[in-house]
Amino acid sequence: MAWHGAGTYRTVDGRGGAGRGQQRFAPLNSWPDNVSLDKARRLLWPVKQKYGQKISWADLYMLAGNVALENAGFRTFGFGAGREDVWEPDLDVDWGDEKEWLAHRHPESLAKQAIGATEMGSDLCQPGRSERQRRAAVRRGGHSRHLRQYGDGR
């Protein structure tokens, strides 16, 4: 869940990201890579009920990621709480066509490379990546059901 939350961040305009726990709201919860996260949220629901407003959904998602890494044998460097909880989705969560709203800011970069994923939520299926980069992402444990072992699309 931490991976998916972070995967919604857009460096171009700073929108999205794991800081507000928005992945539980539409349309983010129905993006292809996020559609099965409802099961994980159901597992976290008893924890949220127990601690209520003492822990935000955003913190809970990130804490679950930390715990998963620790259980897998990785050493973490602590946990930083304090992410803001939101109780409804942003009204402007559908950001529209990227080429249209970015054309006035970076027209030369739009012509040179892809801005992001081929569809919202496909965080590793970026058309601008080379075959070598795709393979490296998969070897490092890149998480996407859209990539096979050698980075081929499904």
pLDDT in tens, 102-130: 566 655 655 555 555 445 544 444 444 44
For tokens 């490092």, the residue is 140
66 vs 62: CA distance, rounded Å: 6
Q: Choose from 19-28, 97-106, 144-153 the range with maximum mean pLDDT.
A: 19-28
Q: Which backbone phi and psi does 11 adopt, to 5 degrees?
A: -65, -25
Q: Which two three-digit tokens encode residue 70?
A: 């620790």
146 catalytic? Reply is no
Percent of the chain whose predicted confidence (pLDDT) is above 70: 58
Domains of the chain are: 1-87 (1.10.520.10), 124-154 (no CATH)
Active-site residue (options: 4, 104, 143, 146): 4
Q: Which backbone phi and psi does 62 adopt, to 5 degrees?
A: -70, -40
